Chains A and B, each alone.
Chain A
Amino acid sequence: MTDEREYSPGEMMVVSAARLLEDGDRVLVGIGLPNLAANLAKRLHAPNLVLFYEAGVVDAAPARLPLSIGDPCLVTGAVSVCSMFDLFYLYLQRGLVDVGFLGAAQVDRYGNINSTVIGEYERPKVRLGGSGGACDIALSCRKTLILLPHAKRRFPEKVDFITSPGYLGGRSEREALGFRGGPEAVVTDLGLLKFDENGEMFLYALNPKATVEQILENTGWNLKVADDVKVLDPPTDEELRILREELDPNRVYLGRLD
């Protein structure tokens, strides 16, 4: 495997996220890129991945890439459909979901996610979608994976608004509130970040075409870097084929990262 092949940073990001999912994981999938990554993993190394969607779908087997988290293709062939209340109450709050897969407009040093507003809440510069199920997912899953493009404004030291708590001010703060889990990794188009024993984010691995300097420049605080920063394998032919030909042939999601 060489790094000569053409692939976009966005493709690398989705591939990198997909590789973090383990076969048999029960994963609650958010809209957009998480959706792409989870469906990629299920077609490759994790055929027994159980896909939950917050619309109330349990063990979906979509024949096409779902256009939204409530797409009819998620229902046909699924193991169960239930009300949203049942999904959040019986499955999620009950602790039956392993992995929460979330997008973010901003993420901070302790993995707190903002998907609500940029600027002041009352008079926002940009009004974003809001929590949806994200806050619920972030507080109830065994672990959370966060996906977003790497840019300074998206990695501030403190987010403008905590939509979905990560470790708040550190692991002990989250534990004090009685919540398990927390962010496990942040996947970007430049690298893979993890969290130390205090719940602080650090650079764990680089995407093949990225540098440590590039990541530090695009992070809004003095990011810790692992002593032995790894370099991730580039996408395989098969990963790229499935992404490009089967999952997102019109580059609906991949195109947004180009």
Chain B
Amino acid sequence: MTTNSVMTNPSSETEASRCGPSKVMSMTEAISKYVRDGDLLYLAGFTHLIPFAAAHEIIRQGKKDLVLARATPDLIYDQMIAAGCARKVIFSWAGNPGVGPLRAFRKKVEAGELEIEEYTHFGTVARLMAGAGGLPFFPLKTNTGSDLVKKNPSIKSVVCPYTGREISVVPALNPDVAVIHVQRADATGNGQIWGIVGEQREAAFASKRVILTTEEIVSEDVIRSDPARTLIPGFLVSAVVEEPWGAHPSYAQGYYDRDNQFYLEWEAISKDEARLDEWLREWVFGVKGRREYMSKFESSRVLSLIPKSQYSAPVDYGIYL
């Protein structure tokens, strides 16, 4: 499970950090401290590193009237919608990836019970990029000709001051809270991701508060040994939560694979309201946290998700005195 073969045993808790005080806390504390009713949340991660553990804690704490933004609502928002947390969803593709529709989302939308605001994927990530860099909007060569423009009044156009041509623009997105799950981070929240890096960096920089959850906490020396991999600088981060398997049933590159069996099972669970309520009662409300949640799965299933290792060739950063 540990990827750290290069550095000696990390001991972040005891080590004095050059990046400031530790922000390590429990998931319960992080969510109760930094997520408020009515907040606009961005739980980041495109298929990879989706912060399910944080979402389940948000459900357990009964947070409500949330505006949930994500490129792909995925099962994580389907579960939060089913649990009654959501007032509105901002998104660009709503499906169970590789499986089918998102049943809870779809049911509410078809019944007219859930407000939506819809973009393309490029639109969604460009909104974050604008928000992250302090721009009011982002110009894009897309949207034009699509009916999305007719149905979403926030997709507008401007006249280019140089060419005189019209160009489509999307507004900046600045979430109240981003939750980012990473493979490793130090105690002050310097977070490293490898594999699909999705929109986590843009979401973190665009948001007012960042909760960082991590497969493992490593020492600052591990982070500094490979600075090119740090996507999230700790000074953006409010809370650090060590949460192994925090992205299950999505995956963490090099740690565990997507639990596709669950994505398939969700189709049947979410189809049937009674079964969905029962699932939430047992797997979210019925457990204290991620450790208890994971212990409910058969160990053979959990072990089958762990890949064999394939390390990158080491890079030499050099010592410059």
Contact = CB atoms under 8 A, between A and B. Distances in A.
Interface in B81-132: 91-95, 97-98, 101, 105-106, 109-110, 112, 118-123, 125-126, 128-129
A127 B165 contact: no
B110 A127 contact: yes
A74 B263 CA distance: 19
A31 B98 contact: yes
A123 B111 CA distance: 7
Interface in B152-208: 165, 195-199, 201-202
A93 interface: yes
Contacts of A69: 47, 97
B195 to A, nearest CB: 5
Contacts of B120: 131-136
A129 B122 CA distance: 15
Interface string A106-140: 00000000001000011111111111111110011
A131 B47 contact: no
A65 B195 CA distance: 17
Nearest to B50: A70
Contacts of B141: 93, 139-140, 178-179
B121 A72 contact: no
A84 B121 contact: yes
Contacts of B123: 136
B52 interface: no
Given A83-B201, A88-B122, A177-B144, A67 B260 contact: yes
Interface stretch (B57-65, B250-258, B274-282): B250-258
A75 to B, nearest CB: 5
Query: Which has the most chain B C-beta neighbours within 10 Å: A69, A76, A88, A131?
Result: A131
B295 interface: no
Contacts of B109: 124, 127
- The DSSP consensus for interface residues of chain A is loop
Nearest to B258: A67
Nearest to B140: A93
Given A69-B97, A85-B125, A122 B112 contact: yes
A92 interface: yes
Interface size band for A: 35 or more
Of A32, A85, A163, A168, chain B has the most CB atoms within 10 Å of the CB of A85
A84 B125 contact: yes
Contacts of B251: 72
B47 A164 contact: no
B145 A56 contact: no
A147 interface: no
A71 interface: yes
Contacts of A127: 94, 101, 105-106, 109-110
Max chain A CB contacts within 10 Å: which of B72, B121, B141?
Answer: B121
A162 to B, nearest CB: 5
A55 B126 contact: no
Given A55-B47, A123-B112, A127-B110, A139 B197 contact: no
A68 B258 contact: yes
A229 B280 CA distance: 56
Given A56-B46, A76-B310, A161-B147, A131 B92 contact: yes
B119 to A, nearest CB: 8
B56 interface: no
Given A70-B196, A124-B110, A130-B93, A135 B307 contact: no
B291 interface: no
A190 interface: no
Contacts of B195: 72, 75, 81
Nearest to A133: B121
A82 B92 contact: no
Contact of B121 (A31, A88, A174): A88
Contacts of A76: 310
A89 interface: yes
Contact of B253 (A72, A85, A131): A72
A122 B150 CA distance: 12
B197 A81 contact: yes
B239 to A, nearest CB: 23
Contacts of B72: 132
22 contacts: A31-B97, A55-B47, A70-B46, A74-B196, A84-B71, A85-B125, A85-B202, A93-B140, A124-B110, A126-B106, A127-B105, A127-B110, A130-B118, A131-B120, A132-B71, A132-B72, A132-B93, A139-B142, A140-B141, A161-B147, A164-B146, A165-B145
Given A69-B97, A131-B148, A133-B120, 17 more contacts: A55-B46, A56-B196, A67-B263, A68-B98, A70-B47, A72-B257, A75-B196, A76-B310, A84-B125, A84-B198, A85-B126, A127-B110, A130-B94, A131-B92, A131-B121, A135-B142, A139-B145
Sorted from nearest, which 6 A-B pairs have the closest CB atoms?
Answer: A70-B47, A132-B93, A165-B145, A68-B97, A129-B95, A88-B122
Interface of A: 31-32, 54-57, 67-72, 74-76, 81-85, 88-89, 92-93, 116, 121-136, 139-140, 161-165, 168, 174, 177-179, 252
